[in-house]
Amino acid sequence: MWMNLGCGRIVLTQTFRPYKAATFIKSEDSFFQVATTKELCVYPGDVNPRVRWEEMAPRPIEKKDFTTVRKHGNGDFAALVKGVKGQLKAALADKRPVYALNYAKMAESQDGSLVIEDAKAVRLVLTDTGMSEEPASCYLLRLVPKEMFTNQTLIGRFHRDLDTQTLCVKPLGILTESAIVRLTF
């Protein structure tokens, strides 16, 4: 998954490898550069569409790229939650969309769960519950430097917890002004 720096959409690149042919089709390595493509093919999709390209030229990430990604982050959690709930109601939509969230503060709530809060004090709960196919990442947030607890951008996967009927966020990474802290692969 990566962000289109032009429009701010987080898109997915997926290579489907049939089990019997997995040894013949190479898997993609993690990519921490900016990909410049001549032509980008976007598959139908709403929030996180799948994309592919034939040729690309990689370049190192510059400070302006971090600034651009942070500008595209969502800082109004109330409006974002409304949009995510609408997304989750669509029959063919991705039930676990990924967004960039600009948070004012990350803290531990009174019940011990981690939360992020926007400038208007709207909170979102961070959890690994219900996402067993991905490695846990919330426990890693207690290990990051203290400066990452205020005014950063979190890349998170939304999920509706059916047991508690709440909308939760799984942290995938934190984007600072000069670095990407990856919490899961």
Pinpoint the residues of the chain covered by CATH 2.40.50. 68-182
Instruction: Give this prediction's pTM.
Output: 0.86
pLDDT, mean of residues 153-171: 88
- Tally Cβ neighbours within 10 Å of residue 66: 17
- Amino acid 29: pLDDT: 66
Amino acid type, 146: K
pLDDT, mean of residues 14-41: 78
Question: The tokens 């899961």 sit on which residue?
Answer: 184
Instruction: Please spell the DSSP secondary structure of 89-114, one letter per residue.
Output: HSTTS-SS-EEEEEEEEEEE-TTS-E
What would the CATH number be for the domain defined by 68-182?
A: 2.40.50
| Percent of the chain scoring above 70 in pLDDT | 95
pLDDT, mean of residues 28-42: 82
pLDDT surpassing 90 at residue 119: yes
- Does residue 12 sit in helix, strand or coil? strand
Report the chain's mean pLDDT, rounded to a whole number.
86
